[in-house]
Amino acid sequence: MQEIQFYLVDAFSDKNFGGNAAAVCPLSEWLADDVLLKMAQQHNQSETAFFVRTDEGYELRWFTTLAEINLCGHATLAAAHVIFEYLDHPSATILFSTRFVGELRVTRNGDWLTLDFPAWSTSPVQNPPADLLTGLGLEAAVEVREGRDYLVVLADRQQVEAVRPDMARLRTLGKMICVSAPDEEYDFVSRFFCPGEGGAGRSGHRLRP
């Protein structure tokens, strides 16, 4: 029986069982896709990150319990933590090569890790699909924008917290949905819905300079 070491990392937290957990599996070479998916299902986290070392850096992939996905922020952070802390990475920067979004860079400065991710542009939607607002249990939104995913802006944090998604209806849209609002207490207020994918994080949760 093949033995593969894995790590369970609580990203965005310095406490056990805090933050956003991800499983991380360093591999010596890539395994078949169905094997990676079964491993992710056995770990039963929202995402599992797999990576293989190369001459230039690391190849990185992410799986939910349902499928491979094209990008995951907290699992990338978790993978970088494992490489920096346990695999004797020689420099302060890690270069990840990915299948769907090109190169990702993670830089360490003391105890802080900075992720440099691609940005997708969005444009305003004047007439949102009926299933979008209905699927979120909303009658209206301050703004709706569309790019790779949908961004639905509400008036305040309380409205974001009150959203009760109909995942079956949202699945018909074929996109993921980020619901956000301004807030005086927090820098970010958002919820992210991934019908049919199972993920919790993603590129909807990033700070743009």
Residues 187, 206: contact at Cβ < 8 Å? no
Q: Tell me which of 3, 47, 185, 197 is the catalytic residue.
A: 47
Q: Which is nearest to 111 in space by CA: 13, 7, 16, 21?
A: 13
CB-count exposure of residue 178 (10 Å: 0-12, 13-18, 19+): buried
Compute CA 131 distance to the chain's CA centroid, rounded to the nearest angstrom: 24
Sheet with 190-193, strands from edge to edge, namely 123-124, 143-146, 150-153, 177-180, 190-193
Element (H, E) at 158: helix 157-162
Can 47 be counted among the known catalytic residues?
A: yes
CA 61 vs. chain centroid, Å, equals: 12
DSSP 12-77: T-SSTT-SEEEEEEEESSPPPHHHHHHHHHHHTSS-EEEEEE-SSSEEEEEE-SS-EES--HHHHH
Q: What residues act catalytically?
A: 47
